[in-house]
Chains A and B, each alone.
Chain A
Amino acid sequence: DAGITQSPRHKVTETGTPVTLRCHQTENHRYMYWYRQDPGHGLRLIHYSYGVKDTDKGEVSDGYSVSRSKTEDFLLTLESATSSQTSVYFCAISINSGTGEAFFGQGTRLTVV
């Protein structure tokens, strides 16, 4: 199984503070993704990465930035958290670059108060 760890698993933060979520994989998969999941919206892609320092925007990227300085780590940063960013965030890795089959982390529940 692909090893993927998200940290923290839960976080409560105040509006206007920066927040960084970490996704760590134990294998050298090239593609990594950040999604947010909200009731009524399903999963929406925030950003994804196709290699070290290679990232691109998804459908809901406003207010988020990402970085990938090492193959194994993909960081998602909320520069100034807002209540609308309260959500469950999932990281995923593509374990088969030929098909895009993804393996998901357990999620991070973020609450912005």
Chain B
Amino acid sequence: SQQGEEDPQALSIQEGENATMNCSYKTSINNLQWYRQNSGRGLVHLILIRSNEREKHSGRLRVTLDTSKKSSSLLITASRAADTASYFCATDGGSEKLVFGKGTKLTVNP
């Protein structure tokens, strides 16, 4: 079964609002990553957070990690129409085997 599960499955917001997506996973990890996929394209790496980190920022992205709850969240602030995409979390399960969740489809309405 898949390691990560994103929540919600779909999210629709207005431009300028913040978008929050959550990821839960099952086993211990070395790190957790978030990826973005535009329709019909391959995935693009956004940000990585290590198991000993609690929060990380990159531009308008903020990622948190709670290893005790085996969960992570991705916050996109001041969203733009161009942020419309699917977002996936990925975990390593303690190895190099990168396992993805089912993704959150984000729609940002202009």
Task: Name A's B-contacting residues (CB within 8 A).
Answer: 31, 33, 35, 40-45, 48, 50, 56, 58-59, 90, 92, 94, 97, 99-107
Contacts and interface: CB of A to CB of B under 8 A. Distances in A.
Nearest to B89: A42
A43 B102 CA distance: 7
Contact of B96 (A35, A44, A97, A103): A97
Interface stretch (B11-19, B38-46, B63-71, B73-81): B38-46
Interface in B68-110: 88, 90, 92, 96-103
Contacts, number: 72
Interface of B: 1-2, 6, 30-31, 33, 35, 40-45, 48, 50, 88, 90, 92, 96-103
Contacts of B96: 31, 48, 50, 94, 97, 100
